[in-house]
Chain A
Amino acid sequence: MRRYILRRFLQGLVLLVLVATIVFFLGRLTGNPADLMLPEDALEEDRVALIETLGLDGPLHKQFGIFLANALRGDLGDSIRHREPAVDVFFSRLPNTLKIVPGTMALALILAIPLGILSALYRGRMIDRVSGAIGVLGIATPNFWLGILLIYVFSVQLGWLPSARMGGPQHYILPTITLGTFLVAGFMRLIRSSMLEVLDSEFVKLARIKGLSETIVVWKHCLRNALIPVLSLWGVLMGGLVTGAIVTETVFAWPGIGRLTYEAVIFRDYPLLQAVIIMDAVLIVIINLVVDILYAYVDPRIRLAE
């Protein structure tokens, strides 16, 4: 088990170095922030002066060397736009994103588990078809559109909920639904297919032959086994939730890291973009590491394979 964890950890480190390298060079291919900061009538010498002030002068490979050396010391540079350490800017926004994640996850699991089980148990029946339709809609609906639709109905027309921004509990409802719909659909479809697989397995048949009640068969034997692949998807989606809430955060004016990423791209704020993506990668590596460890505990076959 230790070897397994160590190997995953080292893989994570390699991944981070790769991410840092790709982000550094790809970011610079898309333009220079000085071009977006200067007025239309600026001279070339103004541009050179600004680039120097921003610390973006010098050959690229030297800049990369400085970046890597500083990154190893935990310094990912200062944001060009905010003029403060990029890591600080990231951590000032991270809590805002984390505030909507638990609600979204809870919503996804509360709805997806019963719907997935019912779909599997009543395969081909009305409830399965309705759940299937919900699943397709949930996956196919762009959350950008869904967010605006929810605002229009519940804020503008009905006046029940605030349109946007962070605030009291009512401010969390619409962003949570918007962000969670895709997850509900994804989890539900996965639970359904896992359940179908498990329901058809030999040990379930044996449990039924032994005369166990259907409730115990489903909830104790089937669900427990069906949740193993869900756990791995949960790791992937959790990382995606933290880092990929760009659209939801933009629609609901939520000052989280999703929107920070978008702003860093638009303003060519290289240090901030590097910091955000590297920190996102760290988060995803950690989450996946935790999931892998849990997975190994839940499914002994993985440990044995190691």
Chain B
Amino acid sequence: MRHRGLLKGCLFSLLLALAWTAVAAEKQQGTLIVAIDTLGAQSMDPIQETRSAHAHYQAPMYDAIVGFNFEKGGAGPGVAERWELAKDGLSWIFHIRKGMKWHNGDPVTAHDVKFSLERTMSKESIASRGPGLRRDVKSIDVIDDYTVQVHTNGVQVHFAEGLSRATYQEGQLMPKKYIETVGAEGFRKKPIGSGPWKFVKSVPGDRIEYEAIDYPHYRGTPHFKRMILLLVPEESTRVAMVSTGEAAIASISPEAIRESKAAGLRVVSVPGTMQAIYQMYGLYLPESQKNPLADKRVREALSLAIDRKQIIEHVMYGEAKMPMPFATFDYSVDDDTERWQNWSREAFRYDPKRAKQLLAEAGYPNGFELKFASTALAGTPFMVPIGLAVADFWRRLGVKVKYTNYEYGSFAPMLRGEQKQLVGVVSMYRTAGRPAAAARFYGAFHSKGAHHLLGRGKDCPKLCKTFDELHKAVTVEQDPVKRTEKTNRMIELVSNEWFAVPILEGMGYWAVNPRKVGAFKAIPGRHEFGDLFQRMPRPEQKPW
């Protein structure tokens, strides 16, 4: 009797799968063509890509161990359905989704997870977080086919979020058995993943082609049969291609929003992809104490002198938001979002009268000379006009701004070490949208961080030491409530000092031809659409 029941169950599952396949195959049709500004290294091997372009072209075919919260943004279930921090805080346990398969039919197991992390940490990997993972991970154990335990060096409360493409690329899953069989070169020539799109062809400098899977997938099964990602570096050309229907979607900058709307295209804005900020270097040094910027009132005055709403309206064509404190967004974890939204409304107001008053109180009623270095990081060319607008507001305040524009490749070396060329200088910068702010805070403010705005080595004053201690306390705190409380204190500490000041919260922008693709929603904080393509409906289908 039991066997008969089992048989019936199997038959039913088989019929269901066949029915699904038939329906899916019938439904999938057409080609989704997307024109984008970069294909990065255009390598289908995840350990050979270092830039955010992975989220354009690797994400369609590779799943990540931790996925997205599609509604709110930030991390959510991925290949791991759930995960938990061990009681001692020294390891993370990931529970792998059952029933997943690679594009060659092999099952996805915990062994693939261990293999992928170890491959990403290997010496041959140039994945940008590879060295960070080597530092953080002690060892990896496969508990069973669907459970992995990652032992960390010390408590790493944000480790799991780092395995989501909401944060980094290093959680991408690679097929252990396949790579061991065909070798790394074989894998690069004919890669397979477990995502909703299968690799078909890559033409260097031109395009990558994919074919949709025709079975259920936790990220969704594609509505289109094929997809092509085209590399089109020139923005006007991308907009023209979407206008003529040669492409369905194209990445654009704020400058192209009006042009796109005038051409009858829909503009999709992805909220919370970055913050445009300015920051001040080396003010902790003894020799900087005579610099007007060393006075907190001056720093606050500079912020109050900026009319952020005007910049949003005129530089970003209305497609940006008032910012929250440094590196925090609506989808941030471990902080009190509502509190910081309220704080930002007051703190980031435009108040030139109060700004002048603060300058006068600080002893600079007639302004002072300020060196301003403007630069634009990859993918955010609009940083330059934002910087120009900021400089103009400061000039209105009476500050004599000495403005220099740097190509980012030339600016980046100045950030290293003692930052001698930047001491006492204000520069434009941006911080990318990530769910956990702690890592960004480390980079900007920690005495061992890349920017070390509060101090470094022996020149680490009280504020610098307090920050270092607080940051440590945040990153090892296992109790979420206490972690939120400590994170709030950390945000408060740096926000009230005005060393790194948000100007606006930027968005990612896309021009969409409604005749070629249906309506869809972006994932907050993730500019690239690699995790979304499978959800995009065809024009005649219901919006997603």
Taking the closest CB of chain A, its distance from the CB of B147, in whole angstroms, is: 29
Other-chain residue from B132, B134, B240 in contact with A42 (beta carbon distance below 8 A):
B132
In the bound complex, what is the Cα–Cα distance between A148 and B239 (angstroms)?
A: 11
Identity of the chain A residue whose Cβ is nearest the Cβ of B204 in the assembled complex: A92
**Complex contact B204–A253 (CB within 8 A):** no
**Complex contact A83–B378 (CB within 8 A):** no
Residues of chain B within 8 A (CB-CB) of A156 are 240, 243-244, 263
**Complex contact A39–B206 (CB within 8 A):** no
Residues of chain B within 8 A (CB-CB) of A166 are 206
**Complex contact A41–B240 (CB within 8 A):** no
Residues of chain B within 8 A (CB-CB) of A155 are 240, 244
In the bound complex, what is the Cα–Cα distance between A184 and B326 (angstroms)?
A: 55
Residues of chain A within 8 A (CB-CB) of B246 are 162-165
Cβ of B432 under 8 Å from chain A: yes
**Complex contact B131–A41 (CB within 8 A):** no
Stretch at the interface among B102-110, B288-296, B349-357, B406-414: B406-414
In the bound complex, what is the Cα–Cα distance between A31 and B410 (angstroms)?
A: 5
**Complex contact B243–A45 (CB within 8 A):** no
Q: Which of A84-110 contact B (CB under 8 A)?
A: 89, 92-93, 96
**Complex contact B443–A41 (CB within 8 A):** yes
In the bound complex, what is the Cα–Cα distance between A36 and B124 (angstroms)?
A: 19
Q: Which of B422-473 contact A (CB under 8 A)?
A: 431-432, 439-440, 442-443, 448-450
Given A40-B440, A42-B443, A148-B236: A35 and B409 within 8 A (CB)? yes
Contact with A along B39-73 (1 / 0, CB 8 A): 01111000010110000000000000000000000
Other-chain residue from A44, A54, A82, A83 in contact with B450 (beta carbon distance below 8 A):
A44
Residues of chain B within 8 A (CB-CB) of A41 are 439-440, 442-443, 449-450
Q: Which of A25-62 contact B (CB under 8 A)?
A: 30-32, 35-47, 49-50, 53-54
**Complex contact A163–B233 (CB within 8 A):** no
**Complex contact A82–B41 (CB within 8 A):** yes
Identity of the chain B residue whose Cβ is nearest the Cβ of A256 in the assembled complex: B205
Cβ of B128 under 8 Å from chain A: yes
In the bound complex, what is the Cα–Cα distance between A35 and B130 (angstroms)?
A: 15
Residues of chain A within 8 A (CB-CB) of B449 are 41, 43
In the bound complex, what is the Cα–Cα distance between A83 and B48 (angstroms)?
A: 7
Residues of chain A within 8 A (CB-CB) of B244 are 155-156, 159, 162-163
Cβ of B416 under 8 Å from chain A: yes
**Complex contact B431–A40 (CB within 8 A):** yes
Residues of chain A within 8 A (CB-CB) of B417 are 44
Cβ of B98 under 8 Å from chain A: no
Q: Which of A1-47 contact B (CB under 8 A)?
A: 30-32, 35-47
Given A40-B450, A41-B442, A148-B237: A46 and B131 within 8 A (CB)? yes
**Complex contact B237–A253 (CB within 8 A):** yes
**Complex contact B442–A250 (CB within 8 A):** no
Contact with A along B148-162 (1 / 0, CB 8 A): 000000000000000
In the bound complex, what is the Cα–Cα distance between A92 and B231 (angstroms)?
A: 16
Q: Which of B240-297 contact A (CB under 8 A)?
A: 240-241, 243-244, 246, 263
Given A30-B410, A162-B246: A43 and B448 within 8 A (CB)? yes
**Complex contact A36–B132 (CB within 8 A):** no
Residues of chain A within 8 A (CB-CB) of B205 are 93, 96, 255, 259-260, 263
Residues of chain B within 8 A (CB-CB) of A54 are 126
Identity of the chain A residue whose Cβ is nearest the Cβ of B232 in the assembled complex: A253
In the bound complex, what is the Cα–Cα distance between A252 and B240 (angstroms)?
A: 11
Residues of chain A within 8 A (CB-CB) of B412 are 31-32, 35-36
Residues of chain B within 8 A (CB-CB) of A35 are 409, 412-413, 415-416
Residues of chain B within 8 A (CB-CB) of A192 are none
Given A251-B237, A253-B237: A268 and B450 within 8 A (CB)? no
Contact with A along B18-58 (1 / 0, CB 8 A): 00000000000000000100001111000010110000000
Identity of the chain A residue whose Cβ is nearest the Cβ of B123 in the assembled complex: A53
Q: Which of B118-136 contact A (CB under 8 A)?
A: 123-126, 128-132, 134-135
Cβ of A76 under 8 Å from chain B: no
On chain B, the number of residues with a Cβ less than 8 Å from chain A's Cβ atoms is 55
Given A155-B240, A164-B237: A81 and B41 within 8 A (CB)? yes
Cβ of B203 under 8 Å from chain A: yes
Tally of A-B Cβ pairs under 8 angstroms? 144
Residues of chain A within 8 A (CB-CB) of B409 are 30-31, 35-36, 266, 268
In the bound complex, what is the Cα–Cα distance between A164 and B35 (angstroms)?
A: 11
Residues of chain A within 8 A (CB-CB) of B42 are 82
Given A38-B128, A151-B236: A83 and B416 within 8 A (CB)? no
Identity of the chain A residue whose Cβ is nearest the Cβ of B408 in the assembled complex: A36
Identity of the chain A residue whose Cβ is nearest the Cβ of B378 in the assembled complex: A36
Taking the closest CB of chain B, its distance from the CB of A4, in whole angstroms, is: 40
Residues of chain B within 8 A (CB-CB) of A31 are 409-410, 412-413
Given A41-B443, A46-B132, A255-B231: A83 and B43 within 8 A (CB)? yes
Cβ of B234 under 8 Å from chain A: yes
Taking the closest CB of chain B, its distance from the CB of A76, in whole angstroms, is: 17
Residues of chain B within 8 A (CB-CB) of A148 are 234, 236-237
Contact with B along A146-174 (1 / 0, CB 8 A): 00100110011001001111100000000
Residues of chain A within 8 A (CB-CB) of B117 are none
In the bound complex, what is the Cα–Cα distance between A42 and B263 (angstroms)?
A: 42
**Complex contact B413–A39 (CB within 8 A):** no
Cβ of B372 under 8 Å from chain A: no
Residues of chain A within 8 A (CB-CB) of B373 are none
In the bound complex, what is the Cα–Cα distance between A148 and B236 (angstroms)?
A: 7
Taking the closest CB of chain B, its distance from the CB of A152, in whole angstroms, is: 7
Other-chain residue from A42, A96, A163 in contact with B237 (beta carbon distance below 8 A):
A163
Cβ of B94 under 8 Å from chain A: no
Contact with A along B315-353 (1 / 0, CB 8 A): 000000000000000000000000000000000000000
Chain B interfacial positions (CB closer than 8 Å to A): 35, 40-43, 48, 50-51, 123-126, 128-132, 134-135, 168, 203-206, 230-234, 236-237, 240-241, 243-244, 246, 263, 378, 408-410, 412-413, 415-417, 431-432, 439-440, 442-443, 448-450
Chain A interfacial positions (CB closer than 8 Å to B): 30-32, 35-47, 49-50, 53-54, 81-83, 89, 92-93, 96, 148, 151-152, 155-156, 159, 162-166, 250-253, 255, 259-260, 262-263, 266, 268
What are 8 A-to-B residue pairs whose CB atoms are below 8 Å? A37-B51, A40-B440, A42-B450, A151-B240, A156-B244, A164-B237, A165-B246, A252-B234
Having A40-B440, A266-B409, one finds 8 other A-B pairs with CB under 8 Å, namely A40-B432, A53-B124, A81-B40, A82-B204, A83-B43, A151-B237, A162-B246, A260-B205
User: Which 8 residue pairs are nearest across A and B when measured between Cβ atoms?
Assistant: A255-B205, A41-B443, A35-B412, A31-B409, A37-B50, A46-B131, A49-B131, A253-B232
